[in-house]
Amino acid sequence: MLDIKNVHAYYGNIEALHGVDLSVGSKEIVAIVGSNGAGKTTLLRSISGLITKTGAISYNGEAIDKRSPRHIAKAGLIHVPEGRHVFPGLTVEENLAVGSVSWRGIGKANLGDDLEKVFYLFARLKERRKQYAWSLSGGEQQMLAIGRAIMGRPKLLMLDEPSMGLAPIVIDELFVKIVEINSMGVPILLVEQNALLAMSISQRAYILEGGKVVLEGNSKDLLNDVRVREAYLGKLKDSA
Ligand code: ATP
pLDDT tens digits along 162-173: 999 899 999 999
Residue to mutate (ligand 1; options 7, 40, 207; most atoms within 8 A of CB) = 40
Q: What percent of the chain has pLDDT over 90?
A: 78
Distances (CA, A) of 60 to 46, 63, 115, 240: 17, 9, 27, 42
Q: Which atom of ligand 1 is nearest to the CA of 191?
A: 7
Question: Residue 142 is which amino acid?
Answer: Q
| pTM confidence score | 0.91
Instruction: Note the pLDDT tens digit of each residue in 107-125.
Output: 555 677 889 999 999 999 9
Domain extent listing, the chain: 2-76+155-239, 85-153
Query: What is the crossing angle of helices 112-121 and 92-104, to 10°?
Result: 130
The CATH number of the structural domain formed by 2-76+155-239 is 3.40.50.300
CA–CA gap between residue 69 and residue 103 (Å, rounded): 11
Can you give the pLDDT at residue 96? Answer: 93
Burial class (CB in 10 A: 0-12, 13-18, 19+), 117: middle
**Each residue of 123-143: pLDDT tens digit?**
999 999 999 999 999 999 999
pLDDT for residue 235 is more than 50: no
Task: Report pLDDT for 67.
Answer: 95
Residue 37 Cβ < 6 Å to ligand 1: yes
d(CA 60, CA 77): 11
